[in-house]
């Protein structure tokens, strides 16, 4: 994949985030959520880039500027998500009480991202994932549906052989861990 293609994917991700934010700002009137979400997304970006630098430390010493252009891999994405969850857990646990909003936001941004990737790259194998996202946006907004989303991704990965989530090829076990975490949060929220 050339650098221009990666720049387009980052642009599509930014537009997807802006569209998801615009929905909550203008339609759902959740302006305070937009601020919280922006802070967490900023932390996620910082953690992913930070882990990319740590994991490519030798490359950073040899070519300091080129490591910033070098795209992150799935491991830095995993570690960035884990670091962000730990950060949110210790910094502001009140954010965890708004998981329904986070889930809807994540589904909405994923839907916009996949739709634009289908339009731009004409990759019609993404339609399966787009349909899954659309059904979940219409139907559910709690941890139970989050777990169904993760199972759907695992099944699509097994069926298609390969699938990207926001441009990352994420391991099936990562989705299964998220599914179990979602079920545990569902159990805890039900008391």
Cα gap 176→182, rounded to integer Å: 10
Q: pLDDT at position 64, please?
A: 77
User: What integer pLDDT is reported at residue 109 of this predicted model?
Assistant: 93
Q: Which residues contact 168 (CB under 8 A, 6 or more apart)?
A: 72, 73, 74, 77
0.85 cut: is pTM over it?
no
Count other Cβ atoms within 10 Å, centred on residue 148.
17
Model pLDDT, residue 96: 67
Q: Which residue has the higher pLDDT, 124 or 142?
A: 124
In the numeric block, which tokens belong to residue 166? 């926001």
Contact assessment for residue 189 and residue 143, using Cβ atoms and an 8 Å cutoff: yes
Query: Which residues touch 89 (CB under 8 Å, ≥6 apart)?
Result: 96
Mean pLDDT of 124-133: 90
pLDDT digit string, tens, across residues 69-123 = 777 888 998 999 899 988 888 887 776 667 677 778 888 999 999 999 999 988 8
Asked whether the beta carbons of 43 and 56 are under 8 A apart, the reply is no
Spatial neighbors of 170 by CB under 8 A, at least 6 apart, are 74, 77, 78, 164
pLDDT interval class at 189 (50, 70, 90): low
Name 165's bridge partners: 168
Q: How far is CA 63 from CA 17, 71, 158, in A?
A: 31, 14, 38
C-alpha 102/C-alpha 108 separation (Å) is: 10
Dmax (CA) of the chain: 53
pLDDT value, residue 146: 75
pLDDT band of residue 25 (cuts 50, 70, 90) is confident
**Contact between 144 and 51 (Cβ < 8 Å):** no
Report the distance separating Cα 117 and Cα 12, nearest Å.
7
φ, ψ of residue 7 in degrees (nearest 5): -65, -40
């Amino acid at each position: 994949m050339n650098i221009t293609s990666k720049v387009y994917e980052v642009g599509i991700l930014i537009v997807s985030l802006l569209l998801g934010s615009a929905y909550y700002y203008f339609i759902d009137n959740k302006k305070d959520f937009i601020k919280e979400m922006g802070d967490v997304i900023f932390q996620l970006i910082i953690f992913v880039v930070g882990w990319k630098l740590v994991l490519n430390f030798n490359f950073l010493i040899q070519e300091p500027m080129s490591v910033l252009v070098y795209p992150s891999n799935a491991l830095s994405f995993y570690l960035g998500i884990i670091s962000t969850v730990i950060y949110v857990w210790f910094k502001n646990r009140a954010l965890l009480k708004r998981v329904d909003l986070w889930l809807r936001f994540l589904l909405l941004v994923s839907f916009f991202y996949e739709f634009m990737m289908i339009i731009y790259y004409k990759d019609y194998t993404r339609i399966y994932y787009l349909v899954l996202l659309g059904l979940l946006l219409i139907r559910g907004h709690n941890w139970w549906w989050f777990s169904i989303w993760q199972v759907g991704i695992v099944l699509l990965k097994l069926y298609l052989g390969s699938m990207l989530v926001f441009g990352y090829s994420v391991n099936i076990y990562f989705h299964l861990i998220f599914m179990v975490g979602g079920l545990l949060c569902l159990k805890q929220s039900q008391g």
